[in-house]
Amino acid sequence: MIGSWMMAVSLLGLAGEDGARNTGGNSPVFVRTFEERKPFEGTSPTGPGIRVLAGEGRAGTAGLVIEREPASGSGSAMVSWSLPIEKLRGARVRVEAFARAEGVSPPPKSWNGIKVMLHVRGAGDEWPQAPIDAGSFGWSRVGFTATIPDDSKSADLALGLEQVTGRVVLDDVRISILSPRRTAATPAANATAAEARPGHGRLRGVMIGTKVDADDLTTLARSYGANHVRWQLLWDGFPNGPADTATAEEYDRWLGRELDRLARLLTVCRREGISVLIDVHTPPGGREQGTSVMKMFRKPEHQAHFLRVWDRIAGRFHDDPAVWGYDLVNEPVVGMIPDGVKTWPELALEAAKRIRAIDRGKAIIVEPTPWGSPEGLDDFEPLPGIDGVVYSVHMYQPHHFTHQGVYDNPGRVSYPGVIDGKPWDKAAIRRALEPARRFERDFHVPIYIGEFSVIRWAPGASGRDWLRDVIEVMEEYRWDWAYHAYREWDGWSFEHGPDRNDHTRSPSLTDRGALLKSYFERNPRQPRP
């Protein structure tokens, strides 16, 4: 029910800040306001507790109420409608609704719970769905965007409660076929946007750990040849850490300490010719435990704090030549959006405008939701009216290979080979990165790969071979890139050998280290004192 399909589903902001729909010229194929004379026309609810009640809707109108009592135990209460599949095949569709809930129990599986979901039948069954909280919450925008496969035979919309109890009210449910994505008028389809990026020359480097010091930076530049670092502003953990429970004052004190440290070490970066990208890895409010959704997409006060953070960073570093750019936030995850809270494109645009009011020249890096995945760019458009924006994705596909032995992923997965039932080789890597390449061609904007890596204990030469193929594709496209990571957690280290239990750096250059160094050495050499 989940897996590869969910990687193709991008969670978007579904409406403007005032709650008005942002469908533009999109074509609706299904609408239910529950003010219809026959709201259940074409369907039959399954399970008790499903009804339309006056006064329960978002504007005091009718709403769809679905209830399951605590004594109900396992089971579901669902209602579904068949959709016109002949209109949907091959189309990108947006499914959106408003929801509020009371006392919904925690789902036993991640795909259970409150359902706003499609069931698409074709070569196989797929169930893309909106991520929706358990518990109690007020009116919130929920939804997702998905592409309906060309071979689909049928599609249904399902609303309900699955394997949980409690009460949910749904209103203003809409499915729209998205208009063809706007494309740039120029240049030619095969042109590269590399020359459009801010700064000078190619950037090949690393993401660095939070404890890197002057000697580490000097070694990175002089022994390896890297000319770039992505500088994490990370508060003791990812995805969860102290920011999840910190006050705004505590966050600002932490940020001040980190910015002071950055300012001290920028002296070394200037001397060594290292271009720095400042990355807000931990945003105000942190992330919600268990979901990784950023709290700044739950409360407007966190968004206001986020904007102040960028006023502060840009105000401090706008005239430092070692700072190449500003990465607005690492791997945004949005989820549900309450009324009065900006979507990620809206918030990113506001942050970019505020940075440009202070700093006209440095790059502004924007990652798509969810998790900065390449697929996220298929449902993103460039920030309007802002010069010098670079669009960034992270590359860890296939996840069961790159993250084997991390979390609950199994080990001993080799590359190239069949992984998760699909053949993975350089051609597959190229396909995985195609959304970024397509975005570059469509809009003539620069692409930056802010993270890519594979765990160091991947079998045999698998890790090196995967890295080689990813780098060769990036080099072909002339993308700037940062390997994850240098002197951070040693699972990603290119200075450690393949024994996961050996936490000492190898006395000799590893095969991964030799590969990266061979590309770092292509960087333009900077004169040093």
**Domain containing 200 — which CATH number?**
3.20.20.80
Return the SS3 of 389.
strand
Whether residue 183 is contained in a domain is answered as no
Same domain, 115 and 162: yes
What does DSSP assign to residue 61?
S
DSSP state, 515? H
Q: Are strands 204-208 and 166-177 parallel, antiparallel or unpaired?
A: unpaired
Residue 523 neighbours by CB distance under 10 Å: 20
Q: Is-contact 116 152, C-beta < 8 A?
A: no
Compute how many other C-beta atoms are within 10 angstroms of the C-beta atom of residue 373: 23
- Asked whether residue 298 is domain-assigned, the answer is yes
C-alpha–C-alpha distance, residues 101 and 114, integer Å: 9
Give backbone dihedrals phi and psi of 442, rounded to 5 degrees, phi first: -65, -40
Residue in 449, 474, 459, 468 with CA at minimum distance from that of residue 513? 468
Classify residue 173: in a domain, yes or no: yes
Cβ distance 444 to 184 under 8 Å? yes
Give every CB contact of residue 209 below 8 A, 6+ residues apart in sequence.
232, 485, 486, 487, 488, 489
pLDDT at 23: 38
Question: Do 127 and 101 belong together in one domain?
Answer: yes
Of 144, 177, 210, which one is at a domain's C-terminal end? 177
Same domain for 363 and 510? yes
On the CB side of 427, CA atoms within 13 Å amount to 4
Name the 3-class secondary structure at 151: coil
Report residue 108 CA to chain centroid gap: 25
Residue 529 lies in a domain: no
Domain boundary residue, one of 113, 142, 177? 177
239 and 146: one domain?
no
437's CB contacts (< 8 A; 6+ apart) are: 447, 477
**Six-digit token string for 137:** 């919450």
Instruction: Return the SS3 of 362.
Output: coil
222 token code pair: 């002089």
Q: Which of 177, 204, 225 is the last residue of a domain?
A: 177
Name the 3-class secondary structure at 51.
Answer: strand
pLDDT of residue 20: 30
Quickly count helices (H) and strands (E) in the chain.
11, 21
Do 423 and 378 reside in the same domain of the chain? yes
Give me the pLDDT at residue 182, please.
58
3-state secondary structure 65-88: EEEECHHHCCCEEEEEEECCHHHH
Q: How far apart are the first and last CA of the chain?
A: 59
Say if 185 falls within a structural domain. no
The reported pLDDT for the residue numbered 254 is 98
Give the per-residue pLDDT at 194.
58
Total count of domains within the chain:
2
pLDDT at position 147, please? 86
* Sign, CA torsion 337/341/345/351: negative
Q: Are residues 437 and 495 in the same domain?
A: yes
| Domain shared by 231 and 354, yes or no | yes
Which structural domain, as residue segments, surrounds residue 365?
194-520
> Which of 452, 457, 460, 468 shows the shortest CA–CA distance to 496?
457
pLDDT along the chain (529 residues), means of 10: 33 32 62 93 81 95 95 88 94 93 94 96 91 92 89 96 96 89 48 60 95 98 97 88 94 98 98 97 91 92 98 98 97 89 96 98 96 91 95 97 86 93 96 96 95 97 98 97 98 97 97 98 73
526 in a structural domain: no
Nearest to 313 by CA among 274, 345, 284: 284
Q: Calculate Rg over the CA atoms of the chain.
A: 24
Examine residue 401 and state whether it is found in any structural domain, yes or no: yes
Question: Rounded to whole angstroms, how far apart are CA atoms 208 and 223?
Answer: 16
* Bond into 398 cis (ω within 30): yes
Q: Cα separation of 393 and 509, whole Å?
A: 28
Q: How far is 228 from 277, CA to CA, in rounded Å?
A: 8
| Confidence (pLDDT) at 185 | 46
| Residue 22: predicted pLDDT | 38
Say what angle helices 511-520 and 462-477 make with each other, to 10 degrees: 10
Q: CATH code at 21? A: 2.60.120.260
State the pLDDT at residue 411: 78
The DSSP call for residue 498 is: S
Look up tokens 């979390």; give the residue. Answer: 407
Q: Round to whole Å and give the CA distance between 44 and 496.
A: 60
Statement to judge: residues 135 and 173 lie in one domain: yes
Instruction: Tell me, yes or no, whether 164 and 198 share the same domain.
Output: no
Does residue 41 belong to any structural domain of this protein? yes
Q: Are both 326 and 411 inside the same structural domain?
A: yes
79 and 206 co-located in one domain: no
Residues paired with residue 267 on neighbouring β-strands, in sequence order = none
67 and 214 in a common domain: no
Across-strand partners of 100?
169
Cis amide bond preceding 370, omega within 30 = yes
What residue has token string 């069954």?
Answer: 125
